[in-house]
Amino acid sequence: MGAEPQVSTVGLVLHPTAAVGSSIDAIVAAARRRPARVLARPADRHRVPSGVEVVPDARFAAEVDALVALGGDGTILGAMRLVIDRPVPVLGVNHGNLGFLAEVHPAQLPGALARLADRDFTIERHAALCVDAGPVGLTTRSGFNDVVLGRPSRTGAVSLDLTVNDLRYGYYRADALVVSTPTGSTAYNYAAGGPIVSPSSNAVAITPVAPMSGISRPVVLGAADQIRLRVAEDSAPVTLDMDGTPAAELGHGDHLTATLRPEAGQVVRLSARDHASRSRVKLSLLDLPLRPDQLLELIPPELRRDAEAAAGQLQAPGSTGLG
């Protein structure tokens, strides 16, 4: 990676409501020392200081060498969607809650920015679902987590016909249908009873939510499979969301085609091992069963050493212990 040019233009992607001012200040200060350009989009004009250059969305996507996403997983997913036609590294700074994509917390940002500028990091590549709905206009055409077909109210059911590679597979009648990438398999897909899919598989999971008839189990398809879903005549109106962002409303006879685009997004990893350990902790919070010795492996080594030292002092001869 040493032969690659240094990062000279950084784009900011901000959570819409989180207080991220301190992180923006840290980024601007780091850019002045380099020097480097810091860009923002017009939607964030009133949230950035004078040291940040506000440019139209098209220029923003075309000129950045890297993005810094300040927020949670949703903000990072949005950052990747912004540059899906020209993927660049995205550094996630966690201003949210439980998430799998963010790499650092705000206090760790200065060191992370130095490594980002020097390209001292590795890339974790993410697949995206790309959607075509024919004549139906879409506000966004891709999702790194999932594509969800739901109902706008609590009445009726979503009824969809599934075709894979021009072969009819059957139909769904459910509250909603979740089509997820491996990244999104731990989100709505998992909550609906779908499988957790390894990122190395580049597979697609289709999971019905509260199925009433038709296909009632999750289906896992390959990366090269073309998925087509058609809204049946007995369906309630259908809302189409991508990564939680409303994209369109579909009516009877409307259809969409979803295909998986491998390596459509790049997430910065400063330590792949540390990220894997954090992900194991977060997966354990999703009720994945772990044995006691496996749970101990999730504790950072320095905390484990401190605990072992404290336990040794309590067990030492002459120790009064507790109480």
> Active-site residues: which are they?
73
Are 55 and 39 in contact, with CB atoms under 8 Å apart? Answer: yes
Which residues have C-beta within 8 Å of that of residue 12, sequence separation ≥ 6? Answer: 24, 27, 38, 39, 40, 44, 48, 52, 67, 68, 70
Asked whether residue 236 is marked as a ligand-binding residue, the answer is no
Asked whether residue 74 is marked as a ligand-binding residue, the answer is yes
* C-alpha to C-alpha distances, 277 to 34, 142, 184, 191, 283, nearest whole angstrom: 32, 29, 19, 22, 10
How far apart (Å, rounded) are the C-alpha atoms in residues 91 and 268? 5
Asked whether residue 165 is marked as a ligand-binding residue, the answer is no
* C-alpha to C-alpha distances, 46 to 14, 24, 129, nearest whole angstrom: 12, 13, 32
Asked whether residue 173 is marked as a ligand-binding residue, the answer is yes
Asked whether residue 157 is marked as a ligand-binding residue, the answer is no
- H/E run at residue 261: strand 255-269
Asked whether residue 210 is marked as a ligand-binding residue, the answer is yes
Asked whether residue 21 is marked as a ligand-binding residue, the answer is no
Helix (H, G, I), strand (E, B), or coil: what is residue 259?
Answer: strand
Q: Name the packing angle between helices 109-117 and 21-33 (round to 10°).
A: 40
Are 35 and 6 in contact, with CB atoms under 8 Å apart? Answer: no
Provide the total of helices (H) and of strands (E) in the chain, helices listed first. 8, 18
Are 12 and 44 in contact, with CB atoms under 8 Å apart? Answer: yes
Annotated binding residues? 73-74, 145-146, 173, 175, 210
User: Binding site membership for NAD(+): which residues?
Assistant: 73-74, 145-146, 173, 175, 210
